[in-house]
């Protein structure tokens, strides 16, 4: 299972997602540019020694990410989706794409990605923290594919 972060803004969130990836054997794809330096002390403090247990791939931009993952299905996590994540059939090799904390993904990407899901939430709230969203969605995707062991 794969997690892709589109131009992440907050080092602590990215580090927490890398830790989650290490614990759940998720491959992490970081689509740059990031809103921080991957050598930032806040990032290193949260990620600690989990980098050694993580499979992390970094891409200069979205086009390079796409060219390296052409055969994988991309599933966009977005508050704009109509389908709830628990009603979606995840596949073992899916790439679960999460947008920037500050802006999600551009409308142009929304238009090109067929599969989109959301986490149902209270209508009075805007969104969850991206690291929490990654944990919720990846747990369901792993459960559906019998990959939680």
**109: containing domain:** 2-144
One digit per residue, pLDDT tens: the chain, 149 residues?
Answer: 999 999 999 988 998 999 999 999 999 999 999 988 777 776 777 777 777 888 899 999 999 999 999 999 999 999 999 999 999 999 999 999 999 988 889 999 999 999 999 999 998 988 899 999 999 999 999 999 999 87
Residue 149 falls inside a structural domain: no
pTM of the predicted model as reported, rounded to 2 decimal places: 0.93
For the chain, how long is the longest CA-to-CA vector? 40
Residue 11 falls inside a structural domain: yes
Tell me the CATH number at 67: 3.40.1280.10
pLDDT of res. 62: 96
pLDDT of res. 77: 96
DSSP 109-125: HHHH--EEEE----TT-
Number of domains composing the chain: 1
Count of helix runs (H) and strand runs (E) in the chain: 5, 7
Residue 32 falls inside a structural domain: yes
Residue 105 falls inside a structural domain: yes
């Amino acid at each position: 299972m794969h997690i892709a972060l589109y131009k992440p803004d907050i080092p602590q969130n990215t580090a927490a997602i890398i830790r989650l990836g290490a614990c759940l054997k998720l491959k992490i794809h970081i689509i740059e540019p990031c809103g921080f330096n991957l050598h930032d002390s806040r990032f290193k403090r949260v990620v600690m020694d989990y980098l050694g247990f993580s499979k992390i791939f970094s891409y200069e931009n979205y086009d390079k990410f796409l060219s390296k993952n052409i055969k994988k299905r991309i599933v966009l996590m977005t508050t704009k989706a109509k389908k709830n994540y628990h009603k979606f059939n995840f596949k073992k090799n899916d790439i679960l794409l999460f947008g920037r904390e500050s802006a999600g993904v551009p409308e142009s990407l929304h238009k090109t990605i067929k599969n989109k899901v959301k986490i149902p939430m209270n209508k009075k709230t805007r969104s969850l923290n991206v690291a929490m969203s990654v944990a919720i969605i990846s747990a369901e995707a792993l459960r559906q594919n019998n990959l939680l062991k």
